Structure 1
Amino acid sequence: MSIPNTSALKPLKKVKLSDFVTEEIERLILDNTFKEGDALPSERELMAAFNVGRPSVREALQNLAQRGLVEIKSGEKTRVTKPCAKTILSGLSGIAIGLLAQDKEKLQFEHLRQLFEIAIIREAAKVRTEEDVEKLSVALENNLAQVENYDRFIETDIAFHLTIIDILNNPMLASIYESLIQWLIRSRNPDTFAELHQISCEHHVRIFEAIKAGDPDRAEDEMRHHLDNVMNNS
């Protein structure tokens, strides 16, 4: 048999054995052959099943652990786990911090945070309950009390914003925000941002009042003003 057009053929890609094992086990997890909580076969059994050496199996299991699909504990069998937003985002942490070292990318992260929080605060202002308002009031008071303490102010600042996000009762949103803000804070100069704490407190008070009033337009305006100030001083 002749092949008329060899230029149309694509060469076979070389695949690392560990990547092959990773993809095959991942497929078995996704199609529920291995379910959450199940113990995977031993390393020796996996070596025999895939006809690979121990290093390839161990690297594959590490890959799966990084993806949040398995949990590896010393002296115990590797078990299938349920991936969550925190697991995924923690895997991105090193990449994010590297990007934030560059001014252009840092500004893009700040803009992403702005878009994220503005969408959230509009919804929060619409659906907040009296209980939500009480929790946010406590978070605000805690934040106002720490204006002179940089580390504690940052902690209570994050807690204030997370309390707003918690109004939507979506843990994934909280995980995304917590990772995003931690990345941004690690890229900031404490000396510069310490000077902005009093201004941030004033903004937080106005944000709280807008949510308490159940006014999404006002809440959006106040959050946009607050985050514009943060972006302009980043």
Structure 2
Amino acid sequence: MSAFENGMLKPLKKKKLSEHIYDEIERLIVTDELKEGEALPSERDLMEIFGVGRPSVREALQKLEQKGLVEIKSGEKTRVTRPCTETVINNISGIAIGVLTQQNERIQLEKIRQLFEIAVVREAARVRTAEDLKQLQLALANNKVQLSNYDGFIETDVRFHLAILGCLHNPMALQMYSTFIDWLIKARSKEKFIELHEQSYIHHCCIYQAIEAGLPDKAEQYMRQHLQYVMDNT
């Protein structure tokens, strides 16, 4: 029996005109037939090329802009761009936060965080500089000051973890982690987390001491304990 007879092929789904336009322009950008900085035809020209009305063209261009593939400026031609890390993250943030309202998905993301931060803290203990340690000390001191303030503690908690990641001097990783941890915080229970401040601060101190001493194994041990404690109690 051929594929045409056994039901493997399904009827084609109808697409909106704007989706056809988006797909075609996206293909040209991805295959590098349209180069970064190159101007697209005007809306009127695109209407003629695709045989559609202005609303379909504008909808396609807006979607391309949202994906970071073009830049639209009033009074200027639309030009091809390349999506940056921030654009990519922003495109999935809303979906991610919605998914994380489900307990199982949040736990999975917490486990991904564990794998990531354990690798980071080991490297931080190995490569940290004197300036990195100063930034960690400052973050830790600010964290202590905010022990009784929920919002302040959360903010300084995140800054401490970002300071650890800062030891690797990787701006893209910093940006991605900032969004990653923001998703988790928004999905947590505020009431539960308030109780964890003091213990979390103690964990932070231990992690800092291991990084300062240049002990990757100890840094990993303390980070594992800290993240597991947070995951078990939020």
Same fold (TM over 0.5): yes
1:74 Cα deviation from its structure 2 partner: 4.2
Letter in 1 for 2:79: R
CA distance in 2, matches of 1:171, 1:202: 28
In the TM superposition, residue 77 of structure 1 has moved relative to its aligned partner by 3.3
Equivalent residue letter for 1:184: L
* Alpha-carbon displacement from aligned partner over 1:16-59 (angstroms, at most 9, x marks no partner): 32222112212222344433334322211211222222222122
Shift of 1:132: 1.1
Instruction: Note the C-alpha offset of 1:15.
Output: 3.6
Q: 1:75: Cα distance to partner? A: 4.5
Counterpart of 1:39 in structure 2: which amino acid?
A
Give SS of 1:169's match.
coil
Aligned partners of 2:127, 2:72: CA distance in 1, in Å?
A: 41
1:159 counterpart residue number: 159
Shift of 1:193: 0.7
1:95 aligns with 2:82: no
Q: CA deviation at 1:66?
A: 2.1
1:229 corresponds to 2:213: no
- The one-letter code sitting in structure 2 at the alignment partner of 1:148 is S
Identity among equivalent positions (%) equals 58
| Separation (CA, whole Å) in 1 of partners of 2:14 and 2:124 | 50
1:199 aligns with 2:199: yes
TM-score, length of structure 2 as denominator length:
0.89
Partner of 2:34: 34
Q: CA RMSD in A?
A: 2.0
Partners of 2:207 and 2:106 in 1: CA distance: 24
Provide Cα deviations, 1:132-184, integer angstroms capped at 9, x if missing partner.
Answer: 11111111111111112211211111111111112212222112211111111
Q: In 2, distance between residues paired with 1:180 and 1:132?
A: 22
Pairwise mapping of residues 51-70 of structure 1 onto structure 2 (< 5 A)? 51-70=51-70
What letter is aligned with 1:110? E
1:134 aligns with 2:134: yes
Q: Which runs of 5+ in 2 are unaligned?
A: none
What runs of 5+ residues in structure 1 fail to find an aligned partner? none
One-letter amino acid of the counterpart of residue 160, structure 1? F
Q: CA deviation at 1:6?
A: 4.0
The separation in 1 between residues aligned to 2:201 and 2:90, in whole angstroms, is: 29
Deviates more, 1:206-215 or 1:4-13: 4-13
Instruction: Tell me whether 1:211 sits opposite 2:211 in the alignment.
Output: yes
Could you say if the C-alpha distance between residues 42 and 123 of structure 1 is closer, same or farther in structure 2, counting changes exceeding 3 Å? Answer: same
Instruction: Please tell me whether residue 179 in structure 1 is matched to residue 176 in structure 2.
Output: no
Offset, 1:12: 4.7
One-letter identity of the residue aligned with 1:147: L
Deviations 1:70-112 (CA, angstroms, capped at 9, x unpaired): 2334444333222122211211122212211111111111111
Pairing 1:72-151 to 2, within 5 Å after superposition = 72-151=72-151
In structure 1, what is the Cα distance between the partners aligned to 2:158 and 2:228? 17
Distance 2:171 2:38 in 1: 25
- After TM superposition, the score normalised by the length of structure 1 is 0.89
1:7 to 5, 8, 27: 5
